[in-house]
Structure 1
Amino acid sequence: MRGKWRRRPAVFFGAALTASAVIAAGFPGTAAGQSAVSAERAQEAEEIQGEEKLQSPTSLKVRRLTKDSTTLQWEASDGALEYWIYWSDRNRTDLEGTEGYALAGKTKATTFVYEKPTHMERYFKVVAVDENGKSAPSEAVLAGIQKNFKPQAEYLDRGLTAVLTEQGVFASWRITADEYAAGAAYELYRDGCLIAQVSAGENSNYLDKEGTADASYTVRAVTGEIEQPPCRPVKVWSDQYLEVKLQKPEPYHDEKVTQEYEYTPNDTLTADADGDGQYELFVMWDGLSQDNSKDGCTAPVYIDCYKLDGTLLWRVDLGINIRAGAHYTQFQVYDFDGDGKAEMICKTADGTRDGAGKPIDGTEQVTDYRNETGRILSGPEYLTLFDGETGIALDTVDYDPQRGEVASWGDSYGNRVDRFLGCVAYLDGTHPSAVFSRGYYTRAVICAYDVSEDKLVQRWKIDSDDGGENRFLYNQGAHTMTAADVDNDGCQEVIFGSATVDHDGTLLYSLSQHGEKHGGHGDAERVGDFNLRHPGLEIFMVHENKPLDAGIEMHDGDDGNYVFSFPTTADIGRGAAADIDPRYEGAESWANNKCGSQAAPMVVSQDGTVISHAMPVANHTIWWDGDLGREILDHTFTNDSGFEPRSVYISKWDWEKEEEVRLLEKTDVYSINGTKGNPCFQADIFGDWREEAAWRTPEGNIRIYTTTDLSSCRLYTLMHDIQYRTQAASEATGYNQSPTPSFYIGFDQELMKIPVPTLSIPSADKGE
């Protein structure tokens, strides 16, 4: 495990406790908890006394900076036995000592080589250590950027929207990452007349109080003194949404599918299929879908591609040998080959027809592999690459791994064998790869693919059955899989629930290595910069196994050590993390804690301190209103089953009254996926950096809602943050999760460190 696995004590109510102490302490605020806090503070005070006896290292400097390493040098401290080197991604002058820093390494010399790519700014401090303790740290030194990965990104047009409100016309448009870096200003025109100038320090939205329903708007960017051509004119929306009319498939019936039903639009992904800078919608149709745990024949799965004006570009029919349900078809849509146009990759079978109506295996004869329970447990399994503009199949390979013996995956009736996941990841820091998996309750196999010359080329494969460190992948998967650069080397890792796979296909760590009552399967996880006193990314996750010493926890994305954790005795089905309370630094996390006889909701701060026993819904979060905090997105039911939706809503968490306040609620659109209450998608697909949410209508269309709140917070489009973009691409995998960016966005604006990526964007005529 790279020799770096070390167990950090779980943090409980701000105190570092061992796992046994956490269980004994009970809920924060008990006498046991306070006693542990006092003991910890006494230990810190003793250590500080030792620090005063040893001189701090001086003259710390960056001796050498290459693309792949940073060499530090300092003056020796008399009596020092060794030196501890710390790093951080932000220099917190309001913190003391090494708070806000993480240990980078130890050495007995007065030089140290930090062997990580220099694609980001890092601050370093050095502490001298002798037999009595540690010195105070040296002054911080900044190591700048030397390496530039220049990841592939999409060309995006202006994304201008104009919405009629009671106050006038709300206009909002996209700032691309390159324009943000150049400090672009903007000019807004109504019917050809300049009505507003937006400076380089302002956000890209404007309320035109004189605007009318029949007006037309355009925007031009001004970089330096150069005026760019205006974008294409847009008309005013009469409502807060864009409705995309879809072509609902006719119900499919045969001797095994006899029920009455209608298809409904389900999980939807966004990508640019034709290279014009506008997103298309890739819609998966749902008909009689089943969970893997249940028997029953389902209707065939269709995936359509639509322009935003409702034009159907193509329909792929996955056929009778692909079962419908949340765990089967993890389709991925992205520009995998860098030609400026997206491709689609998904699992296929005998009977799948591409967007031109041709069978992917070249034969018209279809064998029905559905058994008497409606499951497909025999027959060929494929992975197919489709052209995103035409839907034509470009390449088909055998799905890896094949099912083999069904019982070898954990049961004999076909539940665990058909648990699939998928995501997009920049495994080399520059190009996107498609990642697919099979299994997560028992055996787990993950494979990464590149697209080269219209072919699927396997990059790597990791199998928990291969032994060695790979065995710790066993039983660690969640109902989602996503990508993020958690070890700060410029390349994304694959977060597979309680295990994280490095960009090269080796196991980075598994929470199961903490012990028997750690890690395992879970329903929800979030990856982001949640703790502003801890460098890098954190992963918040809730777990299903029970009892666990850390059933609700946040861990360091780099090494899996806990930032905080809580013991649980029940399946924790939902959890979320986002900045929803400005009174506390960083992001908050929340879930329903169940331990022993106690079962109570809780919201915790970035260090695990419980700040409330009331909480918002632990489902989706979204940036919607005018501030930098995130809002809550969910749905309501007509009954207790959760399968008959009543309304969808976006709400604000009122941290003082400890209740949700509705900002948007609609009863004429519905969520998808039953109790999961998902939108068809959420992502920043037009307007400024805030997100859109899309739900289905009773008629089978998709309505995309956008905010009309003014915001002074300027950011580039979230889709030009590679982590957010890849997570939006895997949003429809398993149990849908809200995408999160690679950097903190929240109420602590002075602590926001917004990376300005240097992207490789296909050239296009921005004059449109």
Structure 2
Amino acid sequence: MPLSAPRRRTVAVTAAALLAGLVSAPAGHAAADPPRRVVENLDRGLVAVPSASGGTFLSWRLLGTEYARYGDAIAFDVYKNGRRLNRTPVRRSTTYRDTTPGTGTYTVRAIVDGKERGPSSPALDLAHGYAQIPLAAADGYTVQHAWPGDLDGDGRYELVVSRLSGTRDRPDLLEAYTLTGARLWRVDLGPGSYTQAGGNGANDPAPAAISGSTAIGGYRNDDNVTVYDLDSDGRAEVLAHTAAGTTFADGSQVTAASPANQFVSVIDGATGTERTRQPVPDDFVADGPSGGHFGIAHLDGEHPSLVTKLVTRVGARRGAFRVLFQTWDFNGTDLTRRWKYVVDPATGATGFHQIRTVDVDGDGKDEIADGNYVVNSDGTLRYVVDRAIHGDRFDIADLDPDRPGLEGFAIQQSELGIVSAFPWYYYDADTGERLVTGAHPTSPVSDADLDTGRGNAADIDPDHRGYEYWTSTADVTRPGAGVFNVQDGKVSTTTPSVNFRIWWDGDKASELLDFTRVEKWDPATETSTTVFDPPGVVSGARNATPFYGDVLGDWREEILAETADHTALRLYTTTEPTGTRLYTLAQNPAHRLGWTVRGYLQSTYTDYYLGTETRRVSRPAITLPEGAHRRDDHA
């Protein structure tokens, strides 16, 4: 099958907008202003880290809520022990390097209309170059995933982590920690997290279940846990699948008539105690207990809802997938069902190993993307990509700065006796139209030639507008192999690592994260250079660390990794100066919601174009929760 050329929708764009580099309004964007979605009430996120070039590197947030209100009309003053360090206000960055002698306590103050606001909370001091978070004793356990959330309402993220034993006879654990290393609580997920019960044995035997996958098929592609402030009271809840024997931090347990019964539990993020629970839908009970994914979406465009995806496989363990979505709302007391959608296999919707919750049509409301299909915010099917089947990875973002709306890139796998028609496709995320389609070898040697296991999209070549995408295909003679630009087609016959995209250094192009190292692709030599490789830490399954994303400092992303002896977590942040100033990615809807789904980890993105060509970005349609206390240092 030859590569098909992209077909572009026409859109009127003013010259002024192009010169300013403004993000194009997505296709389908309503004429009226979209709803303003509620986001977390974060603090300044100030960190102080020893600088490689000497002195102390400081980094802090420009909040999305204040950028939405004031745009670029915000500057900052930097203080050490109450003494201002900068001669003129800091305007072009949210970083500063202090070379004055001695140690001290750092704060920053926002400046609006020439007036200073109150001081930020003192900087988180990363004296060793990272935050060290000791793990509670759990011999033989390793950390699988981590979910950031403001559990106590102070504006700083805490971490909820899942810990797996790697055996079939010990339960998975959920634990919460502060970034300064204090352990808050532990939840024992019970025998349902490592044994199978009930049903017809369709998913049994199976490997050990992942965190929150109580009484499920045990696929480590699943998560069944997420962390978010669902009731907008300023403190995040933990949402998890539970079953008989799950023990919360106060010692209370889930009891049920059958060990196969599953529940969605709302766990208090500050204490680890259960607040309420509801049974999961029982549509698939005949096929055994369900695995799946949890995530968060703003289905009404304003308030967050929980999205649960239930998955079983029919018959043998490698049987066909059955998929059901149930969405939930939590008002602080009651967990209520919003809508349910059972995927009809006759539509061709097969699903991937991770969902994405993102606004694909620009109306302010999030849709649920599951690889080759999308479910609307109201629980109806939006589209299935023509002839696409199952794959392990897919990306959705604004990949082309000159094309309206969001695009996607997905890979394809051949399994269950189904052979993919193509190895990958680049598509319109709003409509599902394939814009460019890869091609299989004309004479495949084996089924492996028709199976693509990895793919990634990132802006790695500044000589070509927009993002590049590539797969794990090693044979560069294959027609679908190499690095492709969204506008110019193939730009390299060799490929970089294919795990994750990350913003790490000072420019707006992407770096690449594989294992625990960060690499920079050089398109001139078609080779990668390692720019960060911390010692003493390891990655987990599929070369992934438990988390990466913008949880501290400026807009660039941090890396959370486990020490090689599995006794601690370390959170690393970049110390590279930058002249680029963007509002924190933690308050960008697409980026923040990307943290809420773990499972088979994929790259995180923004919902606006963030790449080499970005000059300015649109102000986000976001707001703080009603009645939220505006912190002293907020502009």
The TM-score range, normalised by the shorter chain, is 0.7 to 0.9
1:385 counterpart (266, 269, 282): 266
- Is 1:168 the equivalent of 2:34? no
Alignment of 1:188-587 (within 5 A): 188-196=78-86, 199=89, 201-212=91-102, 214-234=103-123, 236-249=125-138, 251=139, 262-288=140-166, 297-323=168-194, 324-325=209-210, 326-361=220-255, 379-406=260-287, 418-439=290-311, 441-465=320-344, 471-472=346-347, 474=349, 476-511=350-385, 514=386, 518-545=387-414, 547-568=419-440, 569-587=449-467
Letter in 1 for 2:152: D
Looking at structure 2, the residues matched to 536 and 199 of structure 1 have their Cα atoms a distance apart, in angstroms, of 36
Looking at structure 1, the residues matched to 620 and 2 of structure 2 have their Cα atoms a distance apart, in angstroms, of 33
Contact 1:198 1:204 in 2 (8 A): no
Contact 2:3 2:439 in 1 (8 A): no
Give CA-to-partner distance per residue, 1:156-211, whole Å, 9 cap, x none.
11111111124211111111113324221110012221111664741100112225
Gap change, CA 1:714 and 1:444, over 3 Å in 2: same
Aligned position for 2:608: 743
- Deviant stretches of 4+, over 6 Å: 92-95, 100-104, 594-597
Gap change, CA 1:340 and 1:236, over 3 Å in 2: closer
Looking at structure 1, the residues matched to 124 and 370 of structure 2 have their Cα atoms a distance apart, in angstroms, of 44
Aligned position for 2:44: 158
TM-score (norm 2): 0.86
Q: What SS does structure 1 have at the residue aligned with 2:586?
A: helix
**How far did residue 421 of structure 1 move?**
1.6
Looking at structure 2, the residues matched to 691 and 596 of structure 1 have their Cα atoms a distance apart, in angstroms, of 31
Q: What SS does structure 2 have at the residue aligned with 1:503?
A: coil
Contact 1:243 1:703 in 2 (8 A): yes
Kindly name which structure, 1 or 2, has the bigger radius of gyration based on alpha carbons.
1
Q: What SS does structure 2 have at the residue aligned with 1:244?
A: strand
Contact 1:564 1:607 in 2 (8 A): no
Letter in 2 for 1:178: T
- Is 1:654 the equivalent of 2:522? yes
Q: What SS does structure 1 have at the residue aligned with 2:471?
A: strand
**How far did residue 488 of structure 1 move?**
1.5
Aligned position for 1:612: 492
Looking at structure 1, the residues matched to 5 and 29 of structure 2 have their Cα atoms a distance apart, in angstroms, of 31
Looking at structure 2, the residues matched to 531 and 235 of structure 1 have their Cα atoms a distance apart, in angstroms, of 37
Gap change, CA 1:341 and 1:473, over 3 Å in 2: farther
Give CA-to-partner distance per residue, 1:624-679, whole Å, 9 cap, x none.
000001101012xxxxxxxxxxxx20111111111111111123101112xx1111
- Is 1:716 the equivalent of 2:583? yes
Aligned position for 1:702: 569
**How far did residue 442 of structure 1 move?**
2.5
**How far did residue 309 of structure 1 move?**
1.8
Paired residues in the alignment total 582
Gap change, CA 1:272 and 1:101, over 3 Å in 2: closer
Q: What SS does structure 2 have at the residue aligned with 1:174?
A: coil
Aligned position for 1:107: none
Contact 2:3 2:437 in 1 (8 A): yes
Contact 2:427 2:435 in 1 (8 A): yes
Q: What SS does structure 2 have at the residue aligned with 1:405?
A: helix
- Is 1:622 the equivalent of 2:502? yes
Give CA-to-partner distance per residue, 1:67-109, whole Å, 9 cap, x none.
xxxxxxxxxxxxxxxxxx9546x546899xxxx99998xxxxx
Aligned position for 2:559: 693
1:728 counterpart (581, 595, 611): 595
**How far did residue 597 of structure 1 move?**
8.3
Looking at structure 1, the residues matched to 263 and 181 of structure 2 have their Cα atoms a distance apart, in angstroms, of 30
Give CA-to-partner distance per residue, 1:474-494, whole Å, 9 cap, x none.
4x2111101111012110100
Gap change, CA 1:266 and 1:396, over 3 Å in 2: same
Contact 1:592 1:602 in 2 (8 A): no
Alignment of 1:42-121 (within 5 A): 86-87=10-11, 90-91=13-14, 117-118=30-31
Looking at structure 2, the residues matched to 94 and 176 of structure 1 have their Cα atoms a distance apart, in angstroms, of 23
**How far did residue 437 of structure 1 move?**
1.1
The more displaced of 607-616 and 740-749 is: 607-616
Contact 1:450 1:456 in 2 (8 A): yes
Contact 2:67 2:619 in 1 (8 A): no
Gap change, CA 1:211 and 1:724, over 3 Å in 2: farther
Gap change, CA 1:319 and 1:599, over 3 Å in 2: farther
Looking at structure 2, the residues matched to 455 and 594 of structure 1 have their Cα atoms a distance apart, in angstroms, of 51
Looking at structure 2, the residues matched to 507 and 519 of structure 1 have their Cα atoms a distance apart, in angstroms, of 16
Contact 1:669 1:696 in 2 (8 A): yes
The more displaced of 146-155 and 580-589 is: 146-155
Give CA-to-partner distance per residue, 1:678-726, whole Å, 9 cap, x none.
1111111111000100100124211000000000001010011111111
Q: What SS does structure 2 have at the residue aligned with 1:178?
A: helix
Contact 2:146 2:161 in 1 (8 A): yes
Gap change, CA 1:479 and 1:228, over 3 Å in 2: same
CA RMSD, 1 decimal: 2.8
Aligned position for 1:48: none
Give CA-to-partner distance per residue, 1:350-372, whole Å, 9 cap, x none.
001122110133x8xx97x5xxx
Give CA-to-partner distance per residue, 1:232-279, whole Å, 9 cap, x none.
333643322111112132x5xxxxxxxxxx112220010001100010
Aligned position for 1:147: 33
Alignment of 1:175-190 (within 5 A): 175-181=62-68, 182=70, 183-190=73-80
Gap change, CA 1:657 and 1:533, over 3 Å in 2: same
Letter in 1 for 2:310: R
Give CA-to-partner distance per residue, 1:492-540, whole Å, 9 cap, x none.
10011111001000000011xx2xxx21111111110002232100111
Gap change, CA 1:15 and 1:727, over 3 Å in 2: closer
Looking at structure 2, the residues matched to 102 and 117 of structure 1 have their Cα atoms a distance apart, in angstroms, of 10
Contact 1:265 1:283 in 2 (8 A): yes
Gap change, CA 1:738 and 1:211, over 3 Å in 2: farther
Contact 1:427 1:503 in 2 (8 A): yes
Q: What SS does structure 1 have at the residue aligned with 2:581?
A: coil
Gap change, CA 1:631 and 1:211, over 3 Å in 2: farther
**How far did residue 622 of structure 1 move?**
0.7
Contact 1:102 1:534 in 2 (8 A): no
**How far did residue 462 of structure 1 move?**
0.9
Q: What SS does structure 1 have at the residue aligned with 2:520?
A: strand
Looking at structure 2, the residues matched to 198 and 702 of structure 1 have their Cα atoms a distance apart, in angstroms, of 38
Gap change, CA 1:753 and 1:335, over 3 Å in 2: same
